[in-house]
Amino acid sequence: MSFPKYANIIIDISHEKVDRLFQYRIPERLLGQVEIGCSVDVPFGKGNTRRKGYVIELTDESNYDEDRIKEIISLSEGIDTAEDISIKLAAWMKRYYGSTMIAALKTAVPTYKQQKRQVHKFVSLRLDERQARDAYNESIRKKQRARERILKELLDNQEDRIPYELITGKLGVSAATLKSMADAGIIRIDEEEYFRNPIAATTDRYTDKVLSPEQQHIVDTVSRDYDQGKRDTYLIHGITGSGKTEVYIALIDDMIKRGKQAIVLIPEIALTYQTLMRFYRHFGDRVSVMNSSLSPGEKYDQMERARSGDIDIIIGPRSALFTPFPNTGIIIIDEEHESTYKSENSPKYHARETAIELSKLLPDGAAVVLGSATPSLESYYRAKSGEYHLFELNRRLTGGTLPTVEMADLREELRSGNRSIFSRRLQELMDEKLSKGEQAMLFINRRGLAGFISCRSCGHVFKCPHCDVSLSEHRGGRLVCHYCGHQEIRPKVCPECGSKYVSSFRAGTEQIEDEVKKFWPQARVLRMDADTTRTKGSYDMILSAFSNKEADVLVGTQMIVKGHDFPDVTLVGILAADMSLYASDFRASERTFQLLTQAAGRAGRGEKEGNVVIQSYQPEHYAIVTAARQDYKSFYEEEIAYRDLLRYPPISHMMCVQIQSKNEEEGMEYAGRFRAIMEQQRVQGAVFIGPALAPIAKINDIYRMAIYVKFDDYDKLVLLKDTLEHYVKELEDMGKLRTITLQFDFDPMHG
Ligand code: ADP
Ligand code: ZN
Ligand code: ZN
């Protein structure tokens, strides 16, 4: 066996340009020991001072004269620093997901670019309580909604200062409004260079919340394991309102007592004002929030504060995982089933797996806690197999009754002459709720809308005979499978029932909004979708407007089913529940179940009785039946059987090789060769599918195609990936393959 002889090394990771590499020879005695991601000591510069560097690439050929190239002195010794760990994690991501080391470093190593220090602002009440109440009542009278929102928050929490960003970002109050209120002497805006104590953290307010025995059991188990040196991954399966967040807070408390830090991942869309305030109230200035709207300067600031021990807790989406705490003790991933935990850019990492790997790299290890009302098949499968520790929380601690769920069969509606997008039952309930002044949410599931077709009389869905996923309609009347490329002619009539209502369901949010206005002209309607949430803050603005009862009906895509609690929503209508079942990928049923369960859970949060109507063309489909019953376990059993039958994850693993090319023919030709190269590796039992065109076959004139490989052993798939990367590198070195790019996606989540 021969080992690479040269290493390309980065000396100063804090330098902006991570792609500035220096080449060193690996001495005989270190051959085979120097790996990508290692830290090594090298002579550097004119004086050959000893510096620490990180190995980014290994190679057999040198770009320099043999006698000019310097030699690595040794592997670095001592305990890994936060920086060492970030770089090792990047090396793991590169290998495990397939990407360049530079791309992995840019993802996993926090930015070091020094920015001007930010000042932190927060808002508090300047008036006394009586005056403030007067101002509040006046804002209601004058319909000054933004003023009303902020005054309500400040009155509810008079001893608190509220972080400025939360008010502008999450409460949807503009900077101009805040300024005019400050000028009028109603509020005070304070500035500090450090983010000190935004909240008077009166912990005694919380010590009186006694955890339920089920909650306490989780906290005790995780903390005891930790103290006994056992590092595990835990899955909390608990319906919304069952007290998961309260458990997270108690767990973090325990870790902080042990001198550790905590990383809390929450999908961006669920990072609501209420949730963030719960953490701020409890942990005061020890907590910080990261989100995508932060400027590079603000992000740098957060990272610095984490590095220097200024904070103990970071809350944020996927990328918050890479916060360089000196001593992370726990990583919590809430709503762990969310597909946003998987990166869509290379390296296409999953935050869950990466968190588990990070916990292994940390000198003391960390507990990993996953939480969800509808766990991913992956996590539940692992929990059942004993790989993760499973906890269940089955009681709703908020009170509030579970909603009554009814089904409406859209085939039946069509038969009885109702061609509108609202079933008769949904119309009845809308009339009833609106006349009582209660609120309704109408949810359209737009995922998988691209080109699916079905029979609107019997609900028959056109599926690939080989892959059991829906076919998509393409130009020229063809139906195509995006896994294997299978094609058939689009039939004129339904093969099941002979009906000629074979078509795609094209209702969008705008059309629904119009229909609502036609049916209920007196209702005030808000719409939330990709179009209405394009500008910064608009998402939070719409939600807080709805929560302040500035509208009666909220129409929207899956965006509306997450996050906020709306106690006055007593009706949820799901207009075409099966839409996401038609998505042409193997996770279609899982996604449908999650969306429906979440959507149904929106109704009846308050005192009043809630109703849910699920409209569907396939009310007998197991994802819909089990979601209506809020029965996760039955769903899981059906779904895992399907995955098992077709060897889809989590039963097996699936690697997607994505090829992009300016030229369709050339791309397909190379794709064919790539498949052949992988097949030559003779991995017994590996299943190769494709190449076929991707669901969106062309973007910006670049053709996209994919090959899928299914196999039980993930490491073997990684070897196939390595083989392919090697082959592509050789071609590139020969000056070929200029017009083709290659990416890998393991156990894909995004169709
Ligand atoms: P989840 O995160 O599972 O949705 P939360 O932690 O937000 O659940 O809890 C739901 C509600 O129940 C919150 O209002 C919370 O304050 C309350 N709650 C949670 N645990 C307790 C408890 N042990 N005693 C009283 N109320 C609780
Ligand atoms: Zn039919
Ligand atoms: Zn197929």
| Domains, the chain, ordered by start | 6-108 (3.40.1440.60), 118-194 (no CATH), 213-393 (3.40.50.300), 404-449+506-643 (3.40.50.300), 653-746 (3.30.70.600)
Give CA–CA dist 569/555, Å, rounded.
Answer: 13
Q: Is the CB of 211 under 6 A from ligand 1?
A: yes
Ligand approaching nearest to the C-alpha of 415: 2
Q: Is the CB of 329 under 6 A from ligand 1?
A: no
> Does the structure show a pLDDT above 80 at 338?
yes
Q: Is the CB of 398 under 6 A from ligand 1?
A: yes
Q: Whose CA is nearest to atom 9 of ligand 1?
A: 243
Give CA–CA dist 525/514, Å, rounded.
Answer: 9
Query: What sections of 563-649 are H helices per DSSP?
Result: 588-600, 622-628, 632-646
Q: Is the CB of 487 under 6 A from ligand 1?
A: no
Measured over the CA atoms of residue 99, residue 101, residue 102 and residue 106, the dihedral's sign is: positive
pLDDT at residue 109, as a whole number: 85
Cβ–Cβ contacts within 10 Å for residue 466, how many? 13
Token pair of 104 as six digits: 């992995």
Tens digit of each residue's pLDDT (9 = 90 or more) over 159-176: 677 888 778 777 778 888
Residue 415 CA to ligand 2 center (angstroms) comes to 12
With beta carbons less than 8 A apart as the criterion, state whether 382 and 390 touch.
Answer: no
Give CA–CA dist 578/588, Å, rounded.
Answer: 10
Give CA–CA dist 589/625, Å, rounded.
Answer: 11
Give me the percent of the chain exceeding a pLDDT of 90. Answer: 44
With beta carbons less than 8 A apart as the criterion, state whether 216 and 291 touch.
Answer: no
Strand, helix or coil for residue 731: helix
Strand, helix or coil for residue 91: helix
pLDDT at residue 119, as a whole number: 65
Ligand approaching nearest to the C-alpha of 617: 2
Q: Is the CB of 158 under 6 A from ligand 1?
A: no
Query: What sections of 447-548 are H helices per DSSP?
Result: 509-519, 538-547
Strand, helix or coil for residue 654: strand
Atom of ligand 1 nearest to the CA of 209: 24
Q: Is the CB of 334 under 6 A from ligand 1?
A: no
What pTM value is reported for the model? 0.85
Query: Which pLDDT band holds residue 222 (cuts at 50, 70, 90)?
Result: very high
Average pLDDT, the chain: 86
Query: Which pLDDT band holds residue 112 (cuts at 50, 70, 90)?
Result: low
Q: How many CA atoms are closer than 13 Å to the CA of 1, on its beta-carbon side?
A: 3
Q: For strand 702-711 and strand 653-661, is the pairing parallel, antiparallel, or unpaired?
A: antiparallel
Strand, helix or coil for residue 307: helix
Ligand approaching nearest to the C-alpha of 499: 2
Token pair of 705 as six digits: 């195609």
Token pair of 79 as six digits: 């305990």
Residue 462 CA to ligand 2 center (angstroms) comes to 10
Tens digit of each residue's pLDDT (9 = 90 or more) over 645-670: 999 999 999 999 999 999 989 999 99
- Which of 157-161, 214-218, 472-476 has the highest mean predicted lDDT (pLDDT)? 214-218
Atom of ligand 1 nearest to the CA of 334: 2
Q: Single out the residue of 349, 352, 306, 326 nearest to residue 85, CA to CA.
A: 326
Atom of ligand 1 nearest to the CA of 212: 23
Q: How many residues does the chain have?
A: 751
Q: Whose CA is nearest to atom 26 of ligand 1?
A: 397
Q: How many CA atoms are closer than 13 Å to the CA of 134, on its beta-carbon side?
A: 6
Residue 496 CA to ligand 2 center (angstroms) comes to 5
Tens digit of each residue's pLDDT (9 = 90 or more) over 699-739: 777 888 999 999 999 999 999 999 999 899 888 888 887 78
Give CA–CA dist 445/581, Å, rounded.
Answer: 10
Q: Is the CB of 241 under 6 A from ligand 1?
A: yes
- Which of 18-32, 108-122, 548-562, 610-624 has the highest mean predicted lDDT (pLDDT)? 610-624
Give CA–CA dist 540/250, Å, rounded.
Answer: 28
- Pick the residue with more confidence: 304 or 363? 363
Residue listed under structure tokens 């709306």: 566
Residue 222 CA to ligand 1 center (angstroms) comes to 19
Query: Which pLDDT band holds residue 198 (cuts at 50, 70, 90)?
Result: very low
pLDDT at residue 113, as a whole number: 58
Give DSSP secondary structure letters for 338-405.
Answer: -GGGB-SSSS--BHHHHHHHHHHHSTT--EEEEEESS--HHHHHHHHTTSSEEEEE---TT--PPPEE
Q: Is the CB of 242 under 6 A from ligand 1?
A: yes
Which residues have a beta carbon within 5 Å of ligand 2, which is an ion?
455, 457-458, 460, 494, 496-497, 499
Q: What is the mean pLDDT of residues 404-410?
A: 92
pLDDT at residue 14, as a whole number: 64
Q: How many CA atoms are closer than 13 Å to the CA of 242, on its beta-carbon side?
A: 22
> Does the structure show a pLDDT above 90 at 385?
yes
